[in-house]
Amino acid sequence: MDMVAKLPSTEPLALQQQQRQHQHQHGLRNALIYRLLHSRIFIATLFIWCWTYLASLSGPEVFTQVHALKDSASILLSGQESSWKSIQRSASQQYSPLSSSTGSYATLRLDESEQDHPHFNNKKRAVTATPSISEQPLYDLVKRRLPPAYHETFIFTLVPGLTPASATNIHDTFRVSNRDNGTIMIEGATLSGLGAGLNYYLRNACEVEMSWSGDRFMDVPNTPPAIQDPEGKGVIRASFVPWRYYMNVVTFGYSFAFWDWKRWERELDWMMLNGVNMALAMVGQEYVFREMYESLGATRQELNGFFSGPAFMAWQRMGNIQGSWGVTNDTRFKHDWIDSQWQLQGHIMRRMNEFNMTAILPSFNGFVPREFPAKFPHIKFDRASDWDFLGEVNSRNTFISSTEPFFANLTSRFIQTQSTLYQKHGFAPTTDKNYYLLDLFNELRPVCTKQECLRSVTNGVMKALKAADPKAVWVMQSWFLLQSDIWKQAEKKAFFDGILEAGGGKDAFIMDLYSEVRPQWEVTEGFFGIEWGWSMLNNFGGTQGMYGALDTILAGPFEGYRQTAKKMRGMGITMEGINNNEYVYQIVFDIPWESVEATDPEHSKNLTKPSSGQELKQSGLNKQKHLEGYIRRRYGSHRATPTVLEAWETLSQTVWNCTTGQVGQSRSIMDSTPGLDMYRPGFMTTQFWYNQTRVVRAWNQFVGSVDISPNKGKQHSSFIQSFIGATIGATSGKPINPTTQLAVKEKYFLLKDPKAHKTGIAESFSSKMREAIRSTVEQGHRVPPEEFLDMDIHLDDPDPPMSNSSLRYDLVDVTREVLAAVVIPGLHRELVVAYKAKDLASIRSWGRLILDCISDVDRILSTHTHFMSGAWIRDARVSAKFDNATTSYNDEDLIKYRDYVEYSARNQITWWGPLGQKPLADYAGKEWSGVVRGFYYPRWQIFVNRLTTAVLKGKQLDYRAYLEDSVKVEAKWVSSTSGKNGDGRSAYLVTPIEDTINVVLDLWYKWRGAAERYAETADK
């Protein structure tokens, strides 16, 4: 069957290119006016002499514009400085070379093919016209994020030719300078440069910044301060790579799955401030695929078996899985979800276009519904390999090889469908080139592994892309190359040779996804001449373990930059999940703006700097100074005490600087199915590489810095320590001190049932409020979800700086790490020893302590929304809506729809699949309140009970029976939902009810002795 005749016309792409060329003429005229307006004397004279002449050249439209500004010259000559600010603002917004009355315009921009670094290509860089936008999005960002006192502070000015006197840092230049009237001028070669320039001002003049966990923008000085600029020339900076990119395909599952536009808007603002100018744009792509497959005869029911549930679409997109599990007859809900995600993508793309960010869009990668072989019997289809033992129903996806003509046909059809829909809905990207993500073998075995076959596969993909869109650039993640049993050097070279032979040397871009641990650029000679980017992965499954490889992060990008092939064109972060290890991600985004010549002088000494341009005046990257600046911005200078800085320095040398070769963060045994032997290898091993004694000492310093009580360091003689001492004494046959025995007896009621452990609410609460909250936490599972969503429970913020969200986030995070990584494993070791000795009393004692500590982990997590499962579940339920429903729905339908999405959310962070205790179970496990209390705690409780029963009966632990009991409890939690009706339903709070600092101090006094003891033991 010849499908080519059915493909839509490619006219929209060609028409778009013609429109851009036509718009270039208007843009150049406006560019001239823009230049005039930024020289006061030039305006005052040239406007008086030549305004009529300019108008006659530019036509009636520009004649009107120039005439309206003629009076500006007299204002400038009269010296009315206060009027100059408003004139420049008007000029920047109305007469920028990046604006016109038609809304489309041209800017002078370096041709991508000519943007090579001077040290490997010194030819003159060409200038071309490309679509762009005005500076207005930066003014809008300021109004969204900063206090009103700053709304009129900045003058943003695009200066496309702005470059420093550097042989290396030449991309997206910005310059920040003070104006005489107190305003701040931020000039940038691109909008990305302007965003980075604004962030430079906020970080260096105001000592604040934005992060995932919060910001301190409300703490900026009341009067906008000037930037430090002793020479009065302004501070100039530039990036040594043209692309700073963001996201991993699976981040859209582990972190972004249920975001609304408000959350996306904040993230895009954060990206803009960090100079990100390239990002994946994967939301809503199922809408496009559905449109294409329905045009080929697929039904909604058939597509239901192809598309996965809301929390798992990222893996279906890469061909790992297909269909859903756990919910029957979800066709209607799934397609409503697809519709709502398409609407969300419209918001995201419009903002990305406003920010001039390059969106990496999806492309056809060969995977099709399983019914296609029957629909097209004359075409050869194959089955992908099984992924993580999910089996025939939910894996082994059907695909067509790129060597088949039908692959090129479907590629063209998909790209044309996507382009048409984007234009129809008004958010088509406006970039010189169109970037498409296409991963062929993500954790899958190729059907053929012979070199010639691999070369043909990639050659076919490259040709199909270029035939569908001549401006196409193939983007891929290098993750698949880690399967070393398949991808030997010869196979790698054959794979990339296929791209090069199709002319894809500069029409392909490789995100070296795991550069900080397994850099593929090193073993492929810089991907054999294909452009690539240095990436930091750092996180698996969106889990919270503290991890980083700082030494490698600080050196690796510069090593990649000077690599012989000279094809490193970007840097980015490609974590599987966000909201963890914020410091190491921030430093990756900061590195491109560091001077290569200053940081790596030995390898830069033979480079020739341009004879013109402003000097960067940068010193080399200093880890210590960078860390200190980060803490001052994060907490405020008054909080960055020597003690806090020392604690952070210790953390940067331990948890964030893995030097043992471990490939990823460790995870606590608390998150795993309990057993006697809790060692788990792999990407998230249960073995911790760092010196635990030093980490506990840093915890002591950090928590001690917020202890402002009169009896600092002396409160609450820990009964836990007394209990541990008594238990150890009893085990060894030593007599227990009577005082200790009495203390243990008095406090023992707290250990009988950890659920009965009082919540320790801040003392500002009345006893009635405390009891009400305790009741809510312990028994409030049946509160209707709508009431949880609307609950307005807030603590009065203590005096600054305690109100800092990032400070509270870090206190929770470090406390979580110590309890989960040090204390609980230590208690587990004691439990195993007691079981092997058949010491029933000690088994019960250590078991109670483990459960009590798990309960306390849940308690501290519940004090910050970033660590609360209620927020994840709330977002999932709220994302289920019938915006464009074609059929009628009632309230019960909406509840079922929300239950469906909630099941997907719960399943991902626990079972990750249709059955529990399979290879993917707990892979995306979260140390979140609610999950810890509702999912981890019960299976540990069953485990302790099983151990006790075994010793009582004089038998060995029946581990199979334990697993059977445990999986039943797990299933109950996974299938429970927050809907209004029915039994077995549960909901979790979304707003903290205890104060972080009070709880941290409480748990510090309670567990620090145990932490010190078990850290010392682990380090021996």
- Kindly tell me if the per-residue pLDDT of 735 is higher than 80: no
Average pLDDT in the 696-704 region? 97
Average pLDDT in the 702-729 region? 67
What whole-number percentage of the chain has pLDDT above 70? 76
Rounded-to-integer distance, Cα 945 and Cα 153, Å: 65
268 burial type by CB count under 10 A (0-12 exposed, 13-18 middle, 19+ buried): buried
Query: What does the pLDDT read at residue 112?
Result: 35
* DSSP 3-state of 773: helix
Query: What does the pLDDT read at residue 987?
Result: 77
- Kindly tell me if the per-residue pLDDT of 288 is higher than 80: yes
Query: What does the pLDDT read at residue 723?
Result: 67
Q: pLDDT-derived band of residue 740, with 50, 70 and 90 as boundaries?
A: very low
Query: What does the pLDDT read at residue 164?
Result: 96
Q: Are 906 and 988 in contact (CB under 8 A)?
A: no
Average pLDDT in the 450-475 region? 97
Average pLDDT in the 54-82 region? 37
The residues near 208 (Cβ < 8 Å, ≥ 6 apart) are 202, 215, 216, 217, 219, 220, 633
Alpha-carbon dihedral 98, 101, 102, 107, rounded to 10 degrees? -10
Query: What does the pLDDT read at residue 564?
Result: 80
Nearest CA to 254 out of 985, 996, 904 is that of 904
Query: What does the pLDDT read at residue 1020?
Result: 85
Residue 477 has phi, psi (to 5 degrees) of -100, 140
Q: Are 513 and 574 in contact (CB under 8 A)?
A: yes
| Range from 302-306, 337-341, 845-849, 989-993 carrying the lowest mean pLDDT | 989-993
Average pLDDT in the 325-336 region? 92
The residues near 904 (Cβ < 8 Å, ≥ 6 apart) are 309, 310, 311, 312, 324, 326, 876
In this predicted model, which residue has the larger pLDDT, 911 or 799? 911
- Kindly tell me if the per-residue pLDDT of 158 is higher than 60: yes
Query: What does the pLDDT read at residue 886?
Result: 57
Query: What does the pLDDT read at residue 757?
Result: 35
Average pLDDT in the 904-912 region? 98
Query: What does the pLDDT read at residue 988?
Result: 87
Both structure tokens of 868: 């609360």
pLDDT digit string (tens) for 191-250?
A: 999 999 999 999 999 999 999 999 999 999 999 999 999 999 999 999 999 999 999 999
The whole-model pTM stands at 0.84
pLDDT digit string (tens) for 776-801?
A: 333 333 333 333 333 332 323 333 33
- Pairing relation of β-strands 434-437 and 398-399? unpaired
Query: What does the pLDDT read at residue 540?
Result: 97
918 burial type by CB count under 10 A (0-12 exposed, 13-18 middle, 19+ buried): middle
Query: What does the pLDDT read at residue 6?
Result: 36
| Range from 139-153, 403-417, 674-688 carrying the lowest mean pLDDT | 674-688
In this predicted model, which residue has the larger pLDDT, 920 or 750? 920
Query: What does the pLDDT read at residue 730?
Result: 56
Mean pLDDT of the chain: 83
Query: What does the pLDDT read at residue 719?
Result: 59
User: How many other C-beta atoms can be found within 10 angstroms of the C-beta atom of residue 104?
Assistant: 18
pLDDT digit string (tens) for 249-276?
A: 999 999 999 999 999 999 999 999 999 9
Average pLDDT in the 735-757 region? 36
- Kindly tell me if the per-residue pLDDT of 2 is higher than 50: no
